[in-house]
Amino acid sequence: MNAPTAALVAPRPERLRLVGQRRQILSLMHQRLMLGMLVYAGVVALIVLRILYLAAFGDHAGSRPTVSAYIPERGDIVDRDGQPLARTIDAWSIGLHPTKVIGDKLQLARKLAQLMPEKSEAEYFAMLRSGKNFFYLRRRAAPDVVEAVNALGEPGIALNREPERLYPQTFLAAHVIGFTNIDGHGAYGAERAFDKQLSDPALRGQPVQLSISMTVQQALEHELQDAMTKFSAIGAAGVVMDVHTGEVLAMTSLPAMNPNAPGKITPDQMFNRAALGVYELGSTFKPFTLAMAMDSGVVSGPGQMYNCPDALPAYGHIIHDTHPFGRRCSVAEIMMESSNIGMAQMADQVGTARQKAFLKKMGFLDRVEIELKERGRSLTPSTWGPFETMTVGFGQGIAVAPLQLAMGYATLFDGGVYHPPTILKIGPNHPLPPGRRVFTADTSYRMRSLLRLVVMKGTGKNANAPGYRVGGKTGTAQKVINGRYSQSINITSFAGVFPMDDPRYVIVVMLDEPKATKETYGFTTAGWNVAPVVGKTISRIAPMLGIAPDMHREPDMSEVLPYVQEAK
Amino acid sequence: MSVRSFHSVFMASAVAGAALGCYLVSLRVASERAALEDVESTIVQTQTDIRLLQTEVGTRSRLTQLERWNASALDLSAPGASQILGDKFQLATLVRPQHKLEVEAPVVLAAAPAPPPSQPLARDSDPDAAPAPSGDLLHTASLKVEPHEASARKQATVKLAEPKAQPAKAVAAAEKATGKKTGEKVAAAETKPVTRPVRTAKVDPLAPLPGGKSTAKGTRTDR
């Protein structure tokens, strides 16, 4: 009865159906709205977070990259006392962009020629009209020139600051320090040898410390330049070396070059006569032969006698002396008067094989063992027979660099131990490499009094510096000209060691083609021209090197003096 | 009730306040850091300037230039070996104190004579040792000059001893020589033998003097 009638279960009215639809649509819209809002909020949140992040950790306007220390574009080179020898500074450069020039080109060329007279007006005008993009007008320009050029007000002229290599000491030790090329890379000397270290950003903050001592270098260069001018020599070289470490304290080659203007250096100036040039250095070789003879047991001591006639025929040749004895003479006298005849006999007794072995151990048969790239290789006889052994014994037929000779003397007087020469200061960053023994310590000790004798009584008297106990050996070698030994043109050298009672420094000085003067009484031998250079230089540098002068100290001269026949 | 309903508002404001505080701290840190960077960059700038100035000064006073100035104006030279001293003793030897002779000054004794001690002096270091005589302790800082008489007596004894040491023959010969010339003075010579050697010493026997010939001859012939 109560069953619903069809009339009662009427279909849903249209309005209600619409309500349902609207709800659906509404919820959909809500969902979309919510999504939109979330996206918007997300974007806002992102922006806010970014702003917060930037505020906390970001860079602020005007912030510069943090630099805790100044790092130069290229590392410094300093001497052993820390004095700068090479530095990079910001210099002005004046450039020209011909295409950007707006003013009257002829007028500009005229003004430029006035300000920078190294080029003519016509040349400047040609540059301006060339249509090229860029020219350097001047690098490392002086501030007043830069100011004047800036006052021209020409937009085509570019004034820039760019790193420039400056050598404050100009000519000093130029062959050791070297110079850089236009790209700022090492082209010569230490600049070239240590280019990697000098340009590496991680390493260039620390300067490269050389073993060169500026003051010693200056003294050597000055005295050598004086002698070169006085004796009208065509070249000169000098080396001062520490006996115990092989550190080169000074090395010079004359004529000098100015590394601040590498473009103007002539090939003759650029040639490093101390390390690259090899010369027959003559009698300065004799101490080595004597040491070899002593080490081999050929010579028992300075008292051993040799027959020294006026001329010695040997293997089809005749050997002469400048001061012939014409009698029997002791080893001490042979050394003192630099007798070729006596020394040739000693070398003959030593023999070719032993001589070669010694020279090899001393590093005389190879390139000089030094960091510089400009280093020479010694010249040795192509056929090394018994006669060549004799001539090598007194320094003929073998050509070495003066640096090599200094190295040989350092070996001989460092107790017979060879240390390779170095231009880097020995210290914590560059420890002393282990040496190798060449001569016995006893031989080294006995050579002291023999070389002191040469300076006290022999050919090297002019090298004496009172109080500093100089010992050494002169060497006068005839220069080979067109394949023949010249009778008048010499290369004179002196190898000295001081103080002789406890050798600390070696000095080697060489003059190329010195001429005779009135003071030398017409002589061109080493005792007259290079020996005084050594004496003067040692008087100057020894106090700086901490050697106390002492007029009462000498090496044990009683070992040699009894074997010297006094002149009547 | 009302507080509870505002709970969310408080929470939101607290969070906002904390965030703001954190932001301010970070802002402060950033500004401090920026200031530090400024200082650092100023330091680097100054270092660069110092380097530049050093380079300029170094270039202007390069050793070659100094040497040139020295040659043209200063003319200094390296010290010679004799100008370098090893120690203060060598320095002291350069200055010698002036030696003054004060002839007029009286001789002053460095110690006054003290009365002899009533009891023996005891030494601090060595109490067992016998006491030193007082004379040893007293030193006079002057040359002891003997009285004239005493010295003359001493000389006489020395001179007397000489002829004693000589063989008697020599004395007799001397007597003979003088006796030849002056016989009266023999007695005087015997009483005063001291004067004789003094007289012979006045004349040099080797000097070729005509006046002293006789004396010289006399002595020589006796031998």
SS3 A186: strand
**Residue found by looking up tokens 């270039």 in the block:** B59
Q: Does B142 touch chain A (CB under 8 A)?
A: no
Contact A503, A509 (CB under 8 A): no
Angle among Cα A258, A263, A269 to the nearest 5 degrees reads 50
Interstrand relation of A235-242 and A248-254 (parallel, antiparallel or unpaired) = antiparallel
**Chain B residues closer than 8 Å to A52 by CB:** 23
Q: What pLDDT sits at residue B74?
A: 87
A175 burial type by CB count under 10 A (0-12 exposed, 13-18 middle, 19+ buried)? buried
Asked if this assembly's ipTM is beyond 0.85, the reply is: no
Q: Which of A214-218, A318-322, B185-189 has the highest mean pLDDT?
A: A214-218
Nearest to A206 by CA among A70, A317, A381: A70
> Which one of A170, A548, A551 has the shortest CB-CB distance to B62?
A170
A439 burial level (CB within 10 Å; 0-12, 13-18, 19+): buried
Give the pLDDT score at A553: 84
CB A371 within 8 A of CB A424: yes
Q: What is the mean pLDDT of residues A489-518?
A: 90
CB distance A431 to A247 below 8 Å: no
Q: CB burial class (10 A; 0-12, 13-18, 19+) of residue B67?
A: middle
In the numeric block, the tokens 């890379």 are attached to A185
Query: Between the CA atoms of A330, A336, A342 and A348, what dihedral angle is there, to the nearest 10 degrees?
Result: 110
- Mean pLDDT of the A89-100 span: 87
- Say whether pLDDT at A6 is over 70: no
Out of A67, A214, A543, the one facing B79 most closely (by C-beta) is A543
Q: What is the mean pLDDT of residues A5-12?
A: 63
The model's pTM: 0.72
Angstrom distance (rounded) from CA A269 to CA A264: 10
What does the pLDDT read at residue B180? 47
Interface of A with B (CB under 8 A): 52, 55-56, 60, 63-64, 66-70, 83-84, 87, 89-90, 166, 168-172, 214-215, 218, 222, 465-468, 539-540, 543, 548-551
Q: What is the pLDDT of residue B168?
A: 47
Give, for B91, the enclosing helix (H) or strand (E): helix B88-94
No. of helices (H) and no. of strands (E), chain B: 10, 0
Q: What are phi and psi of A109, to 5 degrees?
A: -60, -40
In this complex, do A56 and B30 lie within 8 Å of one another by their Cβ atoms?
yes
In the predicted model, is pLDDT for residue B207 greater than 60? no
Check if the beta carbon of residue A548 is closer than 8 Å to that of residue B86. yes
Q: Is the pLDDT of residue B221 over 80?
A: no
Which candidate from A63, A66, A171 shows the least CB-CB separation from B64? Answer: A171
Of chain A, the end-to-end C-alpha distance in Å amounts to 175
Q: Which chain A positions have a beta carbon within 8 Å of B54's beta carbon?
A: 84
Token pair, residue A184, equals 């700022």
Quick check: B22 pLDDT over 50? yes
Give B47's contacts in chain A (Cβ within 8 Å). 69-70
Of residues A168, A465, A466, nearest to B58 (C-beta): A168
Using the beta-carbon criterion (under 8 Å), do A169 and B64 form an inter-chain contact?
yes
Q: In 3D, which of A247, A175, A174, A163 has the Cα closest to residue A199? A: A163
Average pLDDT over residues B156-183: 48
Nearest CA in chain A to B77: A540
pLDDT band per the 50, 70, 90 thresholds, residue B134: low
pLDDT: which is higher, A338 or B142: A338
Name the token pair of B152.
């003359």
CB contact under 8 Å between B80 and A468, yes or no, is: no
- Summarised one tens digit per residue, pLDDT across range A198-223 is 988 888 888 999 999 999 999 999 99
Distance from CA of A186 to the nearest CA of B (A): 20
Question: Which of A222, A252, A470 is the mutation pick for testing B, counting most B CBs within 10 A?
Answer: A222
Residue A192 has what pLDDT? 92
Closest-CA distance of chain A to residue B6, Å: 24
Q: How many Å lie between the alpha carbon of A551 and the closest alpha carbon of chain B?
A: 8
Q: Which residues of A are catalytic?
A: 283
Chain-chain contact of B44 with A550 (C-beta, under 8 angstroms): no
DSSP-assigned letters across all residues of A324-373 = ---EEEEHHHHHHTT-HHHHHHHHHHH-HHHHHHHHHHTT-SSB--SS-S
pLDDT at B145 over 90: no
Of all residues in chain B, the one with the smallest CA distance to A167 is B59
Burial A306-316 (b: 16+ CB within 10 A, else e): bebeeebebee
Predicted local distance difference test score (pLDDT) of residue B165: 44
Q: Which of B52, B54, B84 sits opposite A543 (nearest CB)?
A: B84
> Which residue of A lies nearest to B54 if distances are taken between CA atoms?
A84
Residue pair A199/B44 in contact by the 8 Å Cβ criterion: no
Contacts of B37 in chain A (CB under 8 A): 63-64, 66
pLDDT > 70: what percent of chain A?
95
**Average of pLDDT values for A448-471?**
89
Q: How far apart are CA A81 and CA A84, in angstroms?
A: 9
3-state secondary structure of A312: strand
By percentage, how much of chain A surpasses pLDDT 90?
A: 41
Task: Compare CB distances from A63 to B34, B44, B86 and report the shortest one's residue.
Answer: B34
Which of A369, A435, A377 is CA-nearest to residue A401? A377
pLDDT band at A511, cuts 50/70/90?
Answer: very high
CB-CB under 8 Å, B62 with A539: no
Distance CA A107, CA A184 (A): 34
Residue linked to tokens 């100057």: A540
Q: Find out whether A139 and A160 touch, Cβ atoms under 8 Å.
A: no
> What pLDDT, on the 0 to 100 scale, is given for residue A120?
87
Give pLDDT tens digits for B89-111: 888 887 877 777 666 666 666 77
pLDDT surpasses 70 at B156: no
Assign A70 a pLDDT band (cuts: 50, 70, 90): confident
Residue A508 pairs in a beta bridge with A239, A495
The nearest alpha carbon in chain B to A540 belongs to: B78
Going by pLDDT thresholds of 50, 70 and 90, the confidence category of residue A45 is very high
pLDDT level of residue A14 (50, 70, 90 thresholds): confident
> Poorest-confidence range of A38-42, A166-170, B13-17, B140-144?
B140-144
Instruction: Report residue A535 CA to chain centroid gap.
Output: 25
| C-alpha distances out from residue A201 to A204, A205, A382, Å | 5, 7, 48
Q: What is the mean pLDDT of chain A?
A: 88
Phi, psi torsion values for B212, nearest 5 degrees: -90, 15
Per-residue pLDDT, averaged over A453-461, amounts to 87
- Measure B68 CA to nearest chain A CA, in Å: 10
Mutate one of B38, B62, B70, B82 to test the A interface: name it (highest A CB count within 10 A): B62
| Banded model confidence at residue A478, pLDDT cuts 50, 70, 90 | confident
Least confident segment among A30-44, A468-482, B135-149: B135-149
Looking at the predicted structure, is the pLDDT value of residue B47 above 50? yes
In this prediction, residues A373-396 reach a mean pLDDT of: 90
Assess B44–A contact: CB distance below 8 Å, yes or no.
Answer: yes
Q: Examine the pLDDT at B162 and tell me if it is beyond 60.
A: no
Q: Do B63 and A218 touch (CB under 8 A)?
A: yes
Burial A47-63 (b: 16+ CB within 10 A, else e): eeeeeeeeeeeeeeeee
Nearest CA in chain A to B68: A222
Is the pLDDT score of B125 beyond 80?
Answer: no
Is the predicted pLDDT of residue B199 greater than 60, yes or no?
no
Query: What is the rounded end-to-end Cα distance, in angstroms, of chain B?
Result: 163
Q: How far apart are CA A545 and CA B65, in angstroms?
A: 22
Residues of chain A with C-beta less than 8 angstroms from the C-beta of B86:
548, 550
Q: At what angle do helices A352-361 and A386-393 cross, to 10 degrees?
A: 50
CA–CA min distance A540, chain B (Å): 6
- Please give the structure tokens belonging to residue A284: 């300065």
* Inter-chain touch B23–A52, beta carbons under 8 Å: yes
In this predicted structure, what is the pLDDT of residue A344?
Answer: 92
Query: Please, which residues bridge with residue A166 across strands?
Result: A87
pLDDT digits (tens, 9 = 90+) for A273-304: 999 988 888 889 999 999 999 999 989 888 88
> Above 70 in pLDDT, residue B161?
no
Band (pLDDT 50/70/90 cuts) for residue A444 is: very high
- Please say whether the dihedral angle defined by the alpha carbons of residues A136, A140, A141 and A147, taken in this order, is positive or negative: positive
CB atoms within 10 A of CB B40: 15
Nearest-Cα distance to chain B for A155, in Å, is 29
Cβ within 8 Å of residue A187, ≥6 positions away: A178, A179, A180, A181, A262
Q: Is the pLDDT of residue A31 over 80?
A: yes
* Residue in chain B lying closest to A225 (CA): B64
For range B118-127, the mean pLDDT? 53
Report DSSP state, residue A447: H
Q: Measure in Å the smallest separation between the Cα of B37 and chain A Cα atoms.
A: 6
- At B219, the pLDDT band (50, 70, 90 cuts) reads very low
**B91 CB within 8 Å of a chain A CB:** no
Q: What is the mean pLDDT of residues A508-535?
A: 85
Q: Give the pLDDT of residue B105.
A: 65
A329 has which bridge partners?
A306
Pick among B64, B68, B82 to test the A interface (most A CBs inside 10 A): B64
Residue range A114-124: mean pLDDT, rounded: 87
Cα distance from A66 to chain B (closest Cα, Å)? 6
Q: Which own/partner contact pairs does A5-8 have at CB distance under 8 Å and 24+ positions apart?
A: none
With beta carbons under 8 A apart, name residues in chain A contacting B52: 89-90
